[in-house]
Amino acid sequence: MPDPSRWFKRLGPSGHERARTPQVVCFPHSGGSASVYRPLGSELAGDMQAVAVQYPGRQDRHDEPVITDLHELADRIADAFRQAAADVPTVFFGHSMGAILAYEVALRLGDEGPLSLVASGRPAPSRVRLTTSYLLDDTALAKQVSWLGGTATELLEHPEMRALLLPLIRGDYQASETYRPRGDEPLNCPVLALGGDADPVASLDDIGAWSGHTTGPFRLETLSGGHFYLQDNWPAVADLIRSAALVPER
């Protein structure tokens, strides 16, 4: 039986001061850990409880092997979510690889899943990206990651951190780049898709294609920035997540 405390890290206060405080479950990007969402947790404090998924292979799970199959990872997160599920309105938020993971976990959970999905910085599952960055040598892979920006860029400049991070990033890239949807069954919850207006790997057209993956309402919102537009837009992202939490419960 999965241990939910290994998979889900609470960001900020517990939120027990108000009954049924809505929560957002955040899925990190490739190479990311639960802590990347601390700024979001701070922005949402008092309104929503932020919880981040901790994938194996990083931070307090550094002794576990990275899971390189996205469907396996989604299976394990869904199992852990069922064990941890609280009777509160829940929004799933995922960025980049995390958007696909959030979608796949939501599919597995069905009616037990989120009341809304917020998918950020990732083409829709139907717009598969045929890339193989995970096969690059260390130097080329580090350049690829640095080109996209994000929190890992500065860390990769230090040889010790680079040696620790690149295997983790490579494993996540493999999971993300070898992912293929197993069917075309749509979600029945609303989907809010977010994108940076200068994202070099996720065009607004590809992000808008998330509309075909739900039978519920769909909305596309654009924010200023590249692939990691989140870093300069946490207050706006928090506001959009709050709006997703206002969807009536099923």
Q: pLDDT tens track of the chain, all 250 residues?
A: 678 899 999 997 654 555 578 999 999 999 999 999 999 999 999 899 999 999 999 999 999 999 999 999 999 999 999 998 778 899 999 999 999 999 999 999 999 999 999 999 999 999 988 899 999 999 899 888 888 886 667 777 788 888 888 999 999 999 999 999 998 889 999 999 999 999 999 999 999 999 999 999 999 999 999 999 999 999 999 999 999 987 443 3
User: What is the pLDDT at residue 14?
Assistant: 58
> Hey, what domains does the chain have and what are their CATH numbers?
4-125+182-245 (3.40.50.1820)
Among 220, 215, 221, 222, CA closest to 190: 215
User: What is the pLDDT at residue 248?
Assistant: 42
- Residues identified as active-site: 96
User: What is the pLDDT at residue 118?
Assistant: 98
Q: Count CA within 13 A, CB hemisphere, residue 198.
A: 8
Paired sense of beta strands 8-11 and 49-53, if any: antiparallel
Asked whether the beta carbons of 120 and 53 are under 8 A apart, the reply is: no
Residues forming a β-bridge with 193: 119, 220
User: What is the pLDDT at residue 249?
Assistant: 39
Sheet holding 8-11, edge to edge: 8-11, 49-53, 23-27, 90-95, 116-120, 191-196, 218-223
User: What is the pLDDT at residue 130?
Assistant: 84
Tokens 């639960």 locate to 34
User: What is the pLDDT at residue 183?
Assistant: 84
Among 48, 179, 171, CA closest to 101: 179
Q: How wide is the angle at C-alpha 123 spanned by C-alphas 169 and 48, nearest 5°?
A: 80
User: What is the pLDDT at residue 46?
Assistant: 87
User: What is the pLDDT at residue 250?
Assistant: 36
Asked whether the beta carbons of 195 and 222 are under 8 A apart, the reply is: yes
- Residue 238 CB neighbours (<10 A): 21
